[in-house]
Amino acid sequence: MMMLISWGLPFLMMMMGIFIFVSNRKHLLSMLLSLEFIVLSLFYMLFMYLNMLNYESYFSMVFMTFSVCEGVLGLSILVSMIRMYGNDYFQSFSILQC
């Protein structure tokens, strides 16, 4: 029962995050939050796997560092998009504009 909770919960969290990511494509902020939720479920899964094998948590700290850097980059893109366009809709954002 404990194995089901420890491995089923991260998979359920990841599937929920993927569903939210696919269904909310209108705002950049909701997409960034769902990506961070997926990264958090991956971190939980990695942490449980490393605890099961009795490894050190050094790799999980490296993973968390990279996920924080990914979150900061996403927020900087969000801030620059809001400053340039005034909102975070993908409809007003065009990659082809110079």
List the pLDDT tens digit at each of the 98 positions of the chain: 677 777 788 888 889 989 988 887 788 888 888 999 999 999 988 888 888 888 887 888 899 999 999 999 988 988 888 888 787 777 766 665 55
DSSP labels, the chain = -HHHHHHHHHHHHHHHHHHHHHH--SBHHHHHHHHHHHHHHHHHHHHHHHHHTT--SHHHHHHHHHHHHHHHHHHHHHHHHHHHHSS-BSSS--TT--
Supply the pLDDT for residue 97.
57
Supply the pLDDT for residue 37.
92
Q: Spell out the domain ranges in the chain.
A: 2-85
- Top-level class of domain 2-85: mainly alpha
How many angstroms separate the Cα of 85 from the Cα of each of 4, 23, 39, 40?
46, 23, 28, 30
Supply the pLDDT for residue 19.
92
Supply the pLDDT for residue 73.
92
